[in-house]
């Protein structure tokens, strides 16, 4: 049975905090690009870009999408997924700070694939990582710079992120395991 661990207000607060942290870390919004990893990372990236525009009026941070499907090293072991389009903002990523956004950080394989995909698109000045949920269990030495919620979980549990843009509601649930 799934139990909710983050509701709509919690997700909103987490994204607002992440947006503030990104602005502090970057010393403002200049030369910043936010790229979401499909599917839910794209919606989160757009929300973060919108939040930054509210926090710093007059600042417009471009948001886009970075599909990593063909860069994954586990394609033969995971369910087949149709590649989504990569959408880079005008001006690309060269010389800019890129914030990759994903919904859940788990093994690190998706982010490793994202770094490879990003490398094929240009040379960013710096790359940062923002995730809504960090659940642990890394297989690669990857750590998020901005985290909405650390949610230690067993490998038997599943973290489900549902967003209004894709699922009709904002909620993070956990199910499985001993609970």
Q: What is the pLDDT of residues 128-177, one digit of tens each?
A: 999 999 999 999 999 999 999 999 999 999 999 999 999 999 999 999 86
Tell me the three state secondary structure of residue 71.
helix
Please report which confidence band the pLDDT of residue 79 belongs to, taking 50, 70 and 90 as the band edges: low
**Cβ–Cβ < 8 Å for 74, 110:** no
Please report which confidence band the pLDDT of residue 179 belongs to, taking 50, 70 and 90 as the band edges: very low
Helix (H) or strand (E) holding 48: helix 40-55
DSSP β-bridge partners for residue 65: 36, 87
Does a structural domain hold residue 175? no
Please report which confidence band the pLDDT of residue 72 belongs to, taking 50, 70 and 90 as the band edges: confident
Residue 28's pLDDT is 96
Does a structural domain hold residue 159? no
Can you give the residue range of the structural domain that contains 56? 9-69+92-153
Q: Is the pLDDT assigned to residue 32 strictly greater than 50?
A: yes
Q: What is the CATH number of the domain that holds 54?
A: 3.40.50.2020
**Cβ–Cβ < 8 Å for 93, 114:** no
Does a structural domain hold residue 22? yes
Q: Could you give the C-alpha distances from 98 to 26, 61, 174, in angstroms and in order?
A: 10, 11, 30
**Cβ–Cβ < 8 Å for 146, 128:** yes
């Amino acid at each position: 049975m799934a139990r909710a661990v983050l509701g709509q207000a919690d997700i909103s607060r987490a994204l607002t905090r992440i947006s503030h942290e990104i602005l502090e870390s970057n010393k403002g919004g200049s030369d910043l690009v936010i790229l979401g990893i499909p599917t839910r990372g794209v919606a989160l990236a757009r929300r973060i870009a919108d939040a930054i525009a509210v926090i710093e009026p007059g600042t417009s941070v471009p948001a886009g999408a970075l599909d990593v499907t063909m860069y994954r090293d586990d394609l033969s072991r995971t369910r087949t997924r149709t590649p989504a389009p990569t959408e880079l903002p005008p001006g690309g990523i060269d010389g800019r700070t890129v914030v990759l956004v994903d919904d859940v950080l788990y093994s690190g394989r998706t982010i490793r694939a994202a770094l490879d995909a990003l490398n094929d698109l240009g040379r960013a000045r710096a790359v940062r990582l923002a995730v809504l949920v960090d659940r642990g269990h890394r297989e690669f030495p990857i750590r998020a710079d901005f985290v909405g919620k650390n949610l230690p979980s067993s490998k038997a549990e599943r973290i489900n992120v549902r967003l209004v843009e894709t699922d009709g509601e904002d909620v993070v649930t956990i199910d499985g395991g001993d609970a």
